[in-house]
C-alpha cells in the first residue's frame, strides 16, 4: 500500500477538534475579545474557510460619481485615507489587505455601520488600494443619495417628517376663557409643538434636562441592561452642535470599556434637537446590543442546546 493511500485512511479526531472550537467560542463570549491564535493556526484555518469576503466594486467608477455628487451639492471634495494594511490569512499564508476611509465634511467618515457593514461587523478588506477606495466612495455616495440636497441641514428624509410644522398664518385672536370653569386639563396635556421644541433646545450637556418621556426612559434602561449582559459598560452620550449649523446636533456613545464594540457604533448627525439626538444614539446602541446578544445566544444554542429531533 502506498504511503499516500495510508495517509487518507487516518481518522481525524473530529470530536477533539469540535471541542477546541467550542472552547475558543466560549472564551470570546466571556471576554468580548478575539482569541489570540498563532500564525500557524490562522494559516491552517484559512486553508478551509475565508476570513474576508471582498465585495465587487468593478461595475462603476464610484470615486468619479462621488466627486460629481459633492460638486453638485457644493460640498468640499471628499478626503480619502488608507491606514496600514492588515495581514490577512489567505489560503494557508498571510497576505496584506487594505481598507480605505472617505471623509466628507459635515457628514462624517465612510464606510460606517449601515453603510458598508452591519452591527457587530467591520469594514471589509481588499486586495488592492484601488478597490478599497472605490468601496469607500460607494458607501459615501449611497449616504448622500439618501440625504436632502441642502448641505446646510444634512438630515435624513425621515427626520424631516418628524419636525413640528409651523402654521402658515397667525392664529385668530381667541375669546377670553370662561373664568368659572377654566380648561385646566387642556392646558396641561396639550403643549404646543413650539414649546416642546424649545424644551429640547434649552437642554445642555450630554443628558437632557426636564421631564423624560416613558419611551426615552425605556430605551436608556434597555441599553444599560443589555450592555451589562454583554459585558460592556453602559455608555455616556456625547452630543454636540452639528457642523451644518442651525438647530441640528450630532452625537455618539462613549464606552470606557468597549471591548469589541464597533468603533463608529451609534454615530448620528444632522438630528433636529439635542434630546432627539441623544435618543437616536441610544436607539442605535440598543439595536446593536439586541443583535449581538441574539447572535451569542444562537451560538450557545447551536453548540450546547438539545439535539434536533
Instruction: State the SS3 of 59-108.
Output: CCCHHHHHHHHHHHCCCCCCEEECCCCEEEEECCEEEEEECCEEEECCCE
Q: What is the pLDDT of residues 232-271, one digit of tens each?
A: 888 899 898 887 677 888 888 988 766 677 777 888 888 8
Q: What is the pLDDT of residues 95-124, one digit of tens each?
A: 999 999 999 887 888 998 888 887 667 889
Residue scoring higher pLDDT (2 or 55): 55
Q: Is the pLDDT of residue 308 over 80?
A: no
Residue scoring higher pLDDT (186 or 212): 212
Place of cell 469607500: 136
Query: What cell does 193 get?
Result: 409643538
Pairing status of strand 248-254 against strand 101-104: unpaired
Closest CA to 119 of 290, 251, 233: 290
Identify the pLDDT of residue 303: 73
Residue scoring higher pLDDT (186 or 250): 250
Q: What is the pLDDT of residues 272-304, one digit of tens each?
A: 888 888 998 999 889 988 888 888 888 877 777
- Tell me the mean pLDDT in the region 211-238: 79
The torsion angles phi and psi of 106, rounded to 5 degrees, stand at 75, -5
**Cβ contacts of residue 204 below 8 Å, gap of 6+?**
274
In 3-state terms the chain splits into helix, strand, coil percentages (rounded to 5) of 40, 15, 45
Identify the pLDDT of residue 149: 57
Identify the pLDDT of residue 64: 95
Instruction: Indicate the pTM of the whole model.
Output: 0.51
Q: Is the pLDDT of residue 138 over 80?
A: yes
57-66, 198-207, 273-282: least confidently modelled range: 198-207
- Tell me the mean pLDDT in the region 15-19: 91
Distance separating alpha carbons of residues 143 and 68, to the nearest angstrom? 14
DSSP 37: -
Query: What cell does 306 get?
Result: 438539545
41-55, 133-147, 237-251: least confidently modelled range: 237-251
Percent of the chain with pLDDT over 70: 70
- Mean of the per-residue pLDDT values for the chain? 76
Pairing status of strand 108-110 against strand 86-90: unpaired
Amino acid at each position: 500500500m502506498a504511503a499516500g493511500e495510508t495517509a487518507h485512511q487516518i481518522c481525524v479526531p473530529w470530536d477533539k477538534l469540535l471541542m477546541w472550537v467550542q472552547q475558543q467560542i466560549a472564551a470570546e463570549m466571556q471576554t468580548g475579545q478575539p482569541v489570540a491564535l498563532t500564525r500557524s493556526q490562522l494559516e491552517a484555518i484559512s486553508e478551509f474557510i475565508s476570513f474576508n469576503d471582498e465585495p465587487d466594486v468593478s461595475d462603476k467608477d464610484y470615486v468619479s460619481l462621488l466627486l460629481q455628487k459633492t460638486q453638485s451639492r457644493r460640498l468640499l471634495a471628499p478626503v480619502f485615507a488608507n491606514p496600514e494594511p492588515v495581514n490577512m490569512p489567505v489560503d494557508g499564508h498571510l497576505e496584506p489587505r487594505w481598507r480605505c476611509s472617505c471623509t466628507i465634511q459635515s457628514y462624517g467618515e465612510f464606510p460606517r455601520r449601515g453603510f458598508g457593514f452591519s452591527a457587530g461587523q467591520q469594514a471589509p478588506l481588499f486586495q488592492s488600494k484601488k478597490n478599497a477606495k472605490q468601496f469607500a466612495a460607494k458607501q459615501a455616495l449611497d449616504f448622500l443619495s439618501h440625504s436632502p440636497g441642502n448641505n446646510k441641514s444634512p438630515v435624513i428624509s425621515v427626520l424631516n417628517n418628524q419636525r413640528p410644522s409651523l402654521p402658515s398664518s397667525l392664529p385668530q385672536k381667541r375669546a377670553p376663557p370662561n373664568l368659572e370653569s377654566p380648561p385646566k386639563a387642556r392646558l396641561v396635556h396639550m403643549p404646543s409643538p413650539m414649546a416642546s421644541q424649545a424644551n429640547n433646545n434649552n437642554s445642555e450637556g450630554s443628558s437632557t434636562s426636564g421631564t423624560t418621556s416613558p419611551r426615552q426612559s425605556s430605551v436608556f434602561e434597555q441599553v444599560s441592561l443589555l450592555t451589562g449582559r454583554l459585558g460592556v459598560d453602559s455608555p455616556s452620550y456625547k452630543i454636540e452642535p452639528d457642523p451644518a449649523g442651525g438647530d441640528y446636533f450630532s452625537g455618539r456613545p462613549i464606552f470606557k470599556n468597549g471591548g469589541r464594540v464597533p468603533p463608529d457604533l451609534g454615530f448620528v448627525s444632522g438630528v433636529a434637537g439635542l434630546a432627539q439626538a441623544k435618543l437616536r444614539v441610544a436607539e442605535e446602541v440598543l439595536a446593536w446590543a439586541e443583535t449581538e446578544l441574539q447572535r451569542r445566544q444562537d451560538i450557545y444554542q447551536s453548540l450546547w442546546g438539545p439535539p434536533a429531533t
